[in-house]
Structure 1
Amino acid sequence: MATHRLPPKVMGQLLKDNGFRKVKIFDADERTMMGLAGTGIETMVAVPNDMLAAVGDYQRAREWVKDNVTKYNFDGGVNIKYVAVGNEPFLKAYNGMFDHVTVPALKNIQRALNEAGYGSAIKATVPVNADVYDSPASNPVPSAGKFRDDIAGIMTDMVRFLNRSGAPLTVNIYPFLSLYGNDNFPLDYAFFDGGGPPKPVVDNGINYTNVFDANFDTLVSALKRIGFGGLPVVIGEVGWPTDGDKHATVPYAQRFYSGLLKRLAARKGTPLRPRARIVVYLFGLMDEDDKSVAPGNFERHWGIFTFDGRPKFPLDLRGNGRPAMPAPARGVRAYLGI
């Protein structure tokens, strides 16, 4: 959502230059898809929320798969791995608008993928927000995790289907948002570098020193509660903004990513899944200067790159313990006419 969008081929090259092997996009826009064609980058495409009701009709789901998956299944095409059915459709802010159309859409998209011969290679999933499990007030410790009462039945149906189809559950976790607007939230608890709050959250002998682990394990507990404690989980979004709030700064973002990337490189899981390799999509790649500023101005500054493709701070993207400035986008000056 930018006033000056970089050409898709420039974006595709930016991903390759920095060694990114996976990318998650929020639709299946043709220009974007052609920018990814030939890169080999594993791609998660998406059915937008406003199309969920439509693909609740199976014929429409078949057409969507034909137009947005089959179309790019050619030699040198797009390496599609997942289809995200909606984006955080159960958010409380939506007041139930998508509650009863999401799971039928999920089932139809996976059925259409299966019918088209992609079912073993491409899985449909639903990225959810962490608000699908109850608030910390209701879940004082991760082991108390359970799904919200108003969507517990829907989540159970959805998780049962994901388990049967061999797909992961996708969840977006934002330590920054735990901190945002809550002056009582302990700052160090948002990071991974061992500081933690003055008193760690203690749960059955486990000390939780960061909110990411506590949040993830709350979801694991909620899954266990409905009988699917082993379901794979993908982190669909996690990141830290660099402007627009007192805590949205480059030093804090660098601190957050440093800890996160070190964890990923060490293949260290969470206390309830200590040996699980966590797949994580960073949010996001680029700043978006035309994005809505609800709930705050920081919404336009989530990128690890500026809107014109310049890296903001060093990152240890290769997990070798040596942070370096990411490679910038190439060919941007000519595009912007500078």
Structure 2
Amino acid sequence: MFLLKFLTSRKMRLITMGIMIMVLFMTRSVNSFVGITWGRQQSQQLVPSMVVDLLLQNKIPALRLMTSASDIVQIFSATNISIVITLTNRNVNLINRKDLAYAWINDKVKLPINKGVNIVLFVQVFKGSTTLNIVVEVEKNNFSQKAFLEQRPNTTCCSHVDKELCIGAEPFSNTFLKDATNYQVVNVISIVREALDEMNLGYVSTTTAHGMDVITIAKVPSKSDFRDDIKGLMLESLKFFNRTGTPFLLNMFPIQMVRDVLNYPIEFTFFDNMSNFKIQDGNVTHYTNAVELMIDSIVWAIRKAGYPDMKIMIGQIGWPTDGYPYANLKNAERFHKGLLKFIASNKGTPLRPGPIDTYLHSLSDETEFRTKFGAFQRHWGIYEADGNPKYKIDFSLQDRDEYPTQAKGIVTMPKRWCMFDGDKSNMDLAKKNYNIACEEADCTKLEQGASCGELSDESKISYAFNAYFQKNKQSEEYCNFNGLGKITTINPSVEKCVFPIEILSFQDQVAGNAMISLKI
């Protein structure tokens, strides 16, 4: 995972899934900050300028953006939003020659620097089923990050990061990357290193983010340690993190850990745990919630590796609202309320007291995110794909009981839906068309236990037809389904199951007599 860090007076940040360029802004603030991730795997994407406004209105100071697209990155150049950007794993080989590396670095790194952004690059790429970290000292104008931090103990590294380039997500994961590709690690990093040096970008460094599966999960934190198969690589990583003052970036999802791994009561995921369940670790330390237990499990592994004071930073944490047991709006609101109160308190965990910088996952649902690991992967959003907030959450850390600001300027498609016409004479044909629709459109809300999972078979067919129709911009030809589809202006939504209407992209066109809705 390549991670570039840009240092700037503007506190901006960017991210993605494969390569991550990360810009560090050194600050004396000792308070935690809360940022948010934004993935763009949607059939109709929120316009970047609207996202900027959404973040500013909600006073969200930092964004982890899952892309390195220049046109999107540049939208944030006039803001005080910290940005993290990413180059996906599959695109790493785009820079496997010096000329390609020069072109990419010039576009993604040099140009932002010319606008006053200083960049630090964190590089990690895959080798077989594991990865190799290249450790590079971060130094510019005889300035050392480590020395800076030692001289200023109240300085928080990575707080209010300006920009960040990440190459590779959770590269040591044995869950998500069992078939990781060999990206000619040494060759690529050598080329990038040489290109950066020759372009006067010699202060570039490397890091990565990790999931909980880098450790052997134990019932109590003190028994946790890094997996044997990657322990050598983790020691290399930690050595680098320590040298450069880089925090350990942790992606964590308590609902999965508690339910699928630890098999603890679901109440343990919440900070206001209403059960009597707690975990005692030794004679003194006890845990009443999963977040503190998970963080301290990582802390114990890092301690055992010889780095007891390494900073922990949460790169992703959230709660899905659909497609998984206990994934609903009520629980998502409850979880985030407790989490944000915990972050605002700056109390930290039993083993790691003090502020913990955090990125919430994520800004909006991603209707085209792969569902290999579950339907819930498309439903992490605090906002619906159309920019409407799902539940109450206070990004300002003041614990206010209110909904966040809606996305402004969103234009929705006309209020019309595609439905199954109810002809049951050939249900085999209807089910065939249902499958065709769901192969392309998002039908994850129809799964058992999901918000639309209790619909009748006929209504499920209608939902699938409509999802396909909306994804294809309401073109009438996409509501045919061998004559089984019909267009209606009567909203078929029922109870908690909403039949969505797509948002309108700038390039979309609608019929001249159609009515569209604009949120201002």
The TM tier, using the shorter chain, reads 0.7 to 0.9
What are the within-5 Å matches in structure 2 for residues 1-338 of structure 1?
1-52=41-92, 63-75=103-115, 80-93=162-175, 94-95=177-178, 97=180, 124-136=206-218, 140-181=219-260, 184-195=263-274, 198-275=277-354, 277-333=355-411, 336=504, 337-338=516-517
Equivalent residues of 1:99, 1:151 under 8 A apart: no
- CA drift of 1:42 comes to 0.9
8 Å contact kept, 2:259–2:266: no
SS at match of 2:226: coil
Q: Is this contact kept in 1: 2:248–2:312, CA < 8 A?
A: yes
State the Cα RMSD in Å: 3.0
- TM-superposed deviation, 1:132: 0.5
Report if aligned partners of 2:62, 2:83 keep a CA contact under 8 Å in 1.
Answer: yes
Which segment drifts farther, 93-102 or 209-218?
93-102
Q: 1:102 to 1:191 in 2, by over 3 A?
A: farther
Greater Rg over alpha carbons, structure: 2
Q: 1:40 to 1:183 in 2, by over 3 A?
A: closer
Unaligned runs of at least 5 residues, structure 1? none
Taking the aligned partners of 2:110 and 2:352, their CA distance within structure 1 comes to: 36
Q: Provide closer, same or farther for how the CA distance between residues 99 and 179 of structure 1 changes in structure 2, counting only shifts above 3 A.
A: farther
Q: Which amino acid aligns with 1:309?
A: G
Tell me which stretches of 4 or more aligned residues in structure 1 moved more than 6 Å.
56-59, 76-79, 99-115
CA separation of 1:215 and 1:182: change in aligned 2, threshold 3 A = closer
In structure 2, how many angstroms separate the alpha carbons of the residues matched to 1:58 and 1:39? 33
Paired amino acid for 2:317: V
Give me the whole-angstrom Cα distance separating, in 2, the residues matched to 1:107 and 1:302. 37
Contact 1:142–1:203 under 8 Å retained in 2: no
**Are 1:316 and 1:322, in contact at CA under 8 Å, matched by a contact in 2?**
yes
In structure 2, the CA distance between the partners of 1:317 and 1:149, relative to structure 1 (3 Å rule), is same
Aligned mates of 1:113, 1:294 — CA distance in 2: 37
1:37–1:77 contact (8 Å) kept in structure 2: no
What is the CA-CA distance between 1:283 and the residue it aligns to? 0.3
| Deviation readout 1:201-246 (Å, 9 max, x if unpaired) | 3334100111111111111111111112222221110000111123
Given that 1:89 and 1:102 are in contact with CA atoms closer than 8 Å, whether structure 2 keeps it comes out as no
SS of residue paired to 2:230: helix
Aligned partners of 2:164 and 2:231: how far apart in 1? 24
User: In the TM superposition, what whole-angstrom CA distance separates every residue of 1:106-130 from its partner, at most 9, and x where no partner exists?
Assistant: 798688667756676x764311111
State the shift of 1:254 in Å. 0.5
User: Secondary structure of 1:212's match?
Assistant: helix
Match of 1:9, SS? Answer: helix
Separation in structure 2 between the aligned mates of residue 106 and residue 253 of structure 1, nearest angstrom: 40
Contact 2:278–2:286 (CA<8 Å) still a contact in 1?
no
Stretch deviating more after TM superposition (159-168 or 244-253): 159-168
Identity %: 31
Question: For structure 2, which runs of at least 5 residues remain unmatched after alignment?
Answer: 1-40, 119-160, 413-502, 505-515
- Contact 2:92–2:183 (CA<8 Å) still a contact in 1? no
Whole-Å separation in 2 of the counterparts to 1:269 and 1:100: 38
Identify if the C-alpha distance between structure 1 residues 70 and 329 changes in structure 2 by more than 3 Å, giving closer, same or farther: same
Q: 2:472 is matched with which residue?
A: none
Question: Matches of 1:258 and 1:269 in 2, distance apart?
Answer: 16
CA distance in 2, matches of 1:167, 1:183: 29
The size of the alignment, in residue pairs, is 333
Cα distance in 1, alignment partners of residues 189 and 245 from structure 2: 13
Report the Cα distance in structure 2 between the residues aligned to 1:144 and 1:176, rounded to whole angstroms. Answer: 21
Cα deviation, 1:233-282, whole Å, max 9, x if unaligned, reads 2111000011112310001001100000001111120110112x111000
Supply the AA of the counterpart residue of 2:180: M
Change (3 A) 1:65 1:5: same
Larger fraction in strand: 2
* Aligned-partner residue type, residue 65 of structure 1: I
Quick check: 1:201–1:209 contact (8 Å CA) kept in 2?
no
C-alpha separation between the residues in 2 aligned to 1:204 and 1:107? 50
CA displacement at 1:66 relative to structure 2: 2.5
Distance 1:68 1:240 in 2: 32
C-alpha contact (below 8 Å) 1:130/1:171 kept by paired residues: yes
1:114–1:83 CA distance, 2 compared to 1 (3 A)? farther
CA contact (8 A) 2:221 2:293 kept: yes
